[in-house]
Amino acid sequence: MSDAQRSVLDILCDVASNVQGIVRSELRLATAEIREDISACQSSLRLLGSGILSAIFAVFFALLALVYALSYVLPAWVAALLVAFCLALCAALMVMAGSRRLKRLNSTRRMTGHIEEGLE
């Protein structure tokens, strides 16, 4: 059969088949790109995690060195207690500041939600 003699139904079937092929190809391409992105992210996240872990150990050893340095002036237990107290104070200040920021964000979201509800 030549192209001039093909029925509309045959043409529509070919179009549908071609569209299916295009969609399948696009899905395969998207899947391949996602896998590539995930593998790239995994290596980056491993490096980031290793760096953070190394930084935590560095801070720990710096604090240990501070305790040793203070132990020349104070008894070792007092030096360790002083460093622990300073760390606890810093932690409390950071927790309070973070808590305030979350409350502000939460109240802003609530106000925005009420405004959006009024607009609908």
Each domain of the chain, given as residue ranges in start order, spans: 1-70, 75-120
Predicted pLDDT at 120: 54
User: Which amino acid, residue 61?
Assistant: F
Annotate 33-46 with b (16+ C-beta within 10 A) or e (fewer).
eeeeeeeeeeeeee
Q: Given pLDDT bands bounded at 50, 70 and 90, which one contains residue 10?
A: confident
- Any idea of the CA torsion for 67, 71, 76, 77, to the nearest 10 degrees? -60
Q: Tell me the average pLDDT across 75-87.
A: 94
More confident residue, 2 or 66: 66
Q: What pTM did the predictor assign?
A: 0.53
